[in-house]
Structure 1
């Protein structure tokens, strides 16, 4: 009897073990050597995701409109790739791209260089040196607007005034600081109110401030609103005065907006500007970035239909930065621009 019980117990245990083995989940296949767990293909240690995100700006801003167009163009023209646009505050885009291979960041050239170099005074205590440019595009333009009866004729007259300036630590901050230095404006004499562009426009309308720094494209909706509803003027930048400072900071430039760009603007106005760009993680697959770069530069006409400044996202503008050798480019993008340079 004991022997029969022993055999029965053994058989029961064996059946339980077999049942447990049979119930194991075999639905998850082993991750292939050339793939990540998320399904992103890996080539030469770099990742080729099938979905990308462009981190842009606020949903009402120029960055967002540009990224929406770029996402559409890339999704429609690169097989197997889906690209979406993500609204952000604009200042975290390079951080996001540095931390995530599937994220492309949009921002200003000066901000990009500050991130790559790890400038703590610009909010980058650790260098984001794993980023490379894909393409440069429209200009980020800084305006200084004042009321016609403010007594302010040049930027030098800002001393002792109430000033509205952007609240975010983007490219506006070093541009304003450079203008203060060039024109001898002492920040200690100013009453500065950091606010959004919309809030600064409203404050100028209401007479709360004497002048406002606002930034965007050409034309800019807030400036158009001001010049249409109020008697205001745009402060011009003296080209000779600012030249030494721009030589030191070669990523900044001057543009001239022609008379008639804004209501009652009867003279050309020089404004400080910086290139806006797209940057990717260096671990994003080189061939994919080459495809992205080629596709964007071959669909400039479609970008022009999306926004007035869309046509500025082109190879010619990008080569102006690429050939200066002042900023790192992604190897996939560099291959494309090298090909263009050889043709010229």
Structure 2
């Protein structure tokens, strides 16, 4: 049993967890295609505490605690890239990650200097929307209008920043075309309120709570993705077409954008039985998951097995096979 160094946000009593996990449907047993770790201790790597990952993850973590007796914790992180690293280093059992970060990790590209050998998925969750947020009075009507502006691109090497680099490249630009600030959502929005940031990349489900907060005091504009840049983005297997409706943040117009799947990843150290129990707990209680955030309502049993860029963990596949959805 490894030593825990991550902060506990939602946790059950350790002694009770050890007793109850023995009745968790085999979660502590080994299984083919996985490691031998059970469900006694589960750290779930999410994202910033103002983001959707954190809110949905907190609900899932509580479910695992309630239903499996796990000592389950939810960890606020820099999201996708950090989450993959935590998972690979054995510091998390479950992690949220976008498909592009997962793809780069498996290929050893971008921020990942070495290939990550295995990132099995528990499920495909919901679509993230790539949003470039600005204010109506900033004069930013297109991605190209970011030139010469001060733009938040997310935390360094976060999933948001990976998205930002991909978008900027698709439009034939680089970070040299504007002043890039590496800020998490909440700080980026605060800087926008203070007039110190002109636009911010935000990749999340709809709505993003930090942007919703901004919309209570300012006229928010979502910059549309259009033209050749949009067509270039849609050539990636993990991007799809999407729209941010104008009523999301009380904007004047709908904004075309691209979407990217969120994956719930499992540590290869988890046994098949453990991942089966985790998957069953989440998808047998989808009503509770849906209640965590509006974006989570798009998580469905039918869509969950259809992952991209990686494979389902054998334990998750067993559950979806039994459910008749794989």
- Superposed pair shares fold, TM > 0.5: yes
8 Å contact kept, 1:69–1:303: yes
Cα separation, 1, equivalents of 2:87 and 2:63 = 20
Of structures 1 and 2, the one with the larger relative CO (CA 8 A, separation 6+) is 2
* SS in structure 1 at match of 2:304: helix
CA distance, structure 2, for counterparts of residue 147 and residue 101 of structure 1: 39
RMSD: 2.6
SS at match of 1:277: strand
Structure 1-normalised TM-score?
0.76
Q: Structure 1 residues 239 and 275, CA, compared in 2 at 3 Å: closer, same or farther?
A: farther
Off by >4 Å, runs of 4+ in structure 1: 40-45
Q: 1:210 to 1:67 in 2, by over 3 A?
A: closer
Q: Equivalent residue for 2:99?
A: 109
SS of corresponding position for 1:318 = coil
Shift in alpha-carbon separation, 1:231–1:53, aligned structure 2, 3 A: closer
What is the deviation of 1:112?
1.6
Q: Is the 8 A contact 1:297 1:313 kept in 2?
A: no
2:317 is aligned with 1:328: no
Output aligned runs, 1:230-245, within 5 Å.
230-238=218-226, 241-245=229-233
Q: For residues 121-169 of structure 1, what are the alpha-carbon distances to aligned partners after superposition, in whole Å with 9 as ceiling and x for unaligned?
A: 32x2222213200012233333212232322221122222222221231
Is the Cα contact below 8 Å between 1:98 and 1:128 reproduced in 2? yes
Cα distance in 1, alignment partners of residues 76 and 150 from structure 2: 31
Q: Distance in 2 between matches of 1:107 and 1:88?
A: 11
Tell me the residue number matched to 1:58.
48
- Cα distance, 1:191–1:69 mapped onto 2, change above 3 Å: same
TM-score for the superposition, normalised by structure 2: 0.80
TM-superposition CA deviations, 1:261-314 (whole Å, max 9, x none): 222x23221233322222112232112212222221221111112222222333
1:241-256 correspondence to structure 2 within 5 Å:
241-247=229-235, 249-256=236-243
How big is the shift at 1:41?
4.7
Other-structure match for 1:317: 303
Q: Distance in 1 between matches of 2:257 and 2:230?
A: 11
> Could you tell me which residue of structure 2 aligns to residue 282 of structure 1?
268
Q: Is the 8 A contact 1:101 1:280 kept in 2?
A: no
Distance across 1 between alignment mates of 2:37 and 2:175: 48
Q: Which position in structure 2 is the counterpart of 1:36?
A: none
Match of 1:92, SS?
A: helix
Change (3 A) 1:87 1:152: closer
- 8 A Cα contact 1:94 1:112, kept in partner: yes
The CA deviation at 1:47 is 0.9
Give structure 1 stretches of 5+ with no counterpart: 1-39
The correspondence for 1:46, drawn from 29, 35, 38, is 35
Q: How many Å separate the matches in 2 of 1:102 and 1:237?
A: 35
Question: How far apart are residue 208 of structure 1 and its match?
Answer: 2.3
Q: 1:228 to 1:327 in 2, by over 3 A?
A: same
Q: Would you say the 8 A contact 1:300–1:310 is kept in 2?
A: no
> 1:164-313 maps to which residues of 2 (within 5 A)?
164-238=152-226, 241-247=229-235, 249-263=236-250, 265-313=251-299
